[in-house]
Chain A
Amino acid sequence: MSYIRLLSLQVAVAVVSLALWHLLTTIPIGGKPLLPPFFFSTPLDVAAQVYKWFADGSIWRHLWITLTEAMLAFVIGSIGGILVGFWFARQPMVAAVFDPYVKMINALPRIVLAPIFTLWFGLGIMSKVALGVTLVFFIVFFNVYQGVKEVSPTILANARMLGMSERQLMRHVYWPSALSWMFSSLHTSVGFAVVGAVVGEYLGSAAGLGYLILQAEGTFDIAGVFAGMFVLAVFVVIIDWMVTLIERRLLVWRPVAAETRT
């Protein structure tokens, strides 16, 4: 399928959905619309709300806060995950001792930690960062652990025969292998960093996209809720697109399934 064709079909899906939404919420059938606008709002109201936020610039502060929280959560969670992942993979004893606890904490729905983090870190951004970190950490940790563990024994033997010291093994073998695993989960971990930030804001905060949605919900401003969701969705798509660019740059050595071999 050509790119143009694909793009026009993708746009068509959006247009049809919006048109349906508009028709169902504005055209009265038997006296009133099928979907009451009070509960479903209308595309035009939502667009007006989004426009208003950007026109008066009030949205930027919230976007910036959410972005900061997500980025901090991603960076801190990744660094922690890499360090602990390496440590566990290279020290099977440590990994064995901590294994049940890691599983326990990972099985915990992270949302129940939110009240504790609010008590510990207050209503500012740090409690949201903490929530995001608990999500990102485990994804990165498991991938790095796996990446270090799954290095092919032949490649490892080859590295040793080529005279690599323990430090060189780290740098030339374990590190690239762990990174490739980590990058393969980059979309997930970045996504979870955003989830942590927004959920944290939603549970109690003074700014951010989650806060905007919560405020709108509190006043039954359905257009505001949808507008917040829309901005959040676009925000996530842009971040995801940037992750794809970074990934392409960093994982050039990876075989791509569709690529033809010369």
Chain B
Amino acid sequence: MVETSVAGGGTQARAANDVAVRLKDVTIEFRMADRASYKAVERVTLTVNEGEFVSIVGPTGCGKTTLLNVAAGLYQPSAGAVEIFGTGLGGLNGQSGYLFQAEALFPWKTALENVAIGLETVGVPVAQARARAQDWLTRVGLGKFGARYPHMLSGGQRKRVGLAQVLIRDPKILLMDEPFGPLDAQTRQIMGNLLLDLWSQNRKAVMFVTHDLEEAIALSDRVLIMSAGPASRIIGEWRVTLPRPRDIAEVKLDPLFHQLHREIWQALKDEVLEGYKQTGGG
């Protein structure tokens, strides 16, 4: 997928340094225990522009998370190149914040300490880091929960702390791996709105991975669809021109939303079925 301004018409061509994340012909192979190799993704090219919210949707096991890990610098691609703001990425991507799918808070730190740690690592004095962490906890609606340890918080509250932990560092790029996956439907909606609210105040480039197409359309500027694994590719790209600010619940009633959902689902359906066959799920 080459970044062109086809669908929207209103978007202008962008200069190279406006591109926050660029994956160029990225292929990732894993060596398995039995020496065989497994090709997770093959020749994926994608860009995320500065201030743009891009979702990657695909069936289970299609290597969406792998792409995020490559953009984060946690994995090196087997072939292809990763560029962050026009510069090749070697090592960890220091300009990105990563919200993981699994529990990633430090269980031995309180919510406040968990949020503050992201500043302490760059040398902000502890007292100052804590004060700003308290600010962030308030912004994610947990102002009174700073002294709690992660196990004393609900799943949704832990995700809020995780969001604050990442955002307090003010990363230019936000990588999100099904961050609201394990939450119930209502909490997901609330978290989605919280995310959009925080994002609209300070627009970062967001690479958002999900298997939930509705969530992807409701949140994003652009939706990329991946094929079923192994050797997944990007097989489609849709621009979401729904007006912002959006409310997750309301935007789902918009006729444009339905039209997009129908179109994308047509493309995704076959891949989802294929994905189930591959992974033996059902």
Name A's B-contacting residues (CB within 8 A).
152, 154-155, 157-165, 168, 172-173, 176-177, 180, 252-255, 261-262
Q: Contact check: which of B96, B102, B117, B121 meets A154 at CB < 8 Å?
A: B102
> Are B117 and A162 neighbours in the complex by a CB distance under 8 Å?
yes
Q: Contact check: which of B104, B108, B154 meets A158 at CB < 8 Å?
A: B104
Minimum C-beta distance from B86 to chain A (A): 21
> Are B92 and A161 neighbours in the complex by a CB distance under 8 Å?
yes
Task: Compute how far the CA of A250 lies from the CA of B125 in the bound complex, rounded to whole angstroms.
Answer: 24
> Are A155 and B108 neighbours in the complex by a CB distance under 8 Å?
no
Give chain A's interface secondary structure class.
helix
- A262: nearest chain-B partner, CB-CB: B152
Other contacts beyond A155-B104, A163-B94: 9, CB < 8 A:
A154-B103, A157-B74, A163-B122, A176-B106, A253-B109, A253-B149, A253-B150, A254-B151, A262-B152
Chain B residues positioned under 8 Å from A177 (CB to CB) = 108
> Are B97 and A161 neighbours in the complex by a CB distance under 8 Å?
yes
How many chain B residues have a CB neighbour from A under 8 Å?
A: 29
> Are A152 and B152 neighbours in the complex by a CB distance under 8 Å?
no
Name B's A-contacting residues (CB within 8 A).
72, 74, 92, 94, 96-98, 100, 102-110, 117-118, 120-122, 149-152, 154, 165, 169
Task: Compute how far the CA of A230 lies from the CA of B58 in the bound complex, rounded to whole angstroms.
Answer: 68
Q: Which of B103, B117, B149 has the most CB of A within 10 A?
A: B117
Chain B residues positioned under 8 Å from A180 (CB to CB) = 108
Minimum C-beta distance from A262 to chain B (A): 7
> Are B149 and A158 neighbours in the complex by a CB distance under 8 Å?
no
> Are B104 and A163 neighbours in the complex by a CB distance under 8 Å?
no
> Are A253 and B96 neighbours in the complex by a CB distance under 8 Å?
no
> Are B169 and A176 neighbours in the complex by a CB distance under 8 Å?
no
- A164: nearest chain-B partner, CB-CB: B121
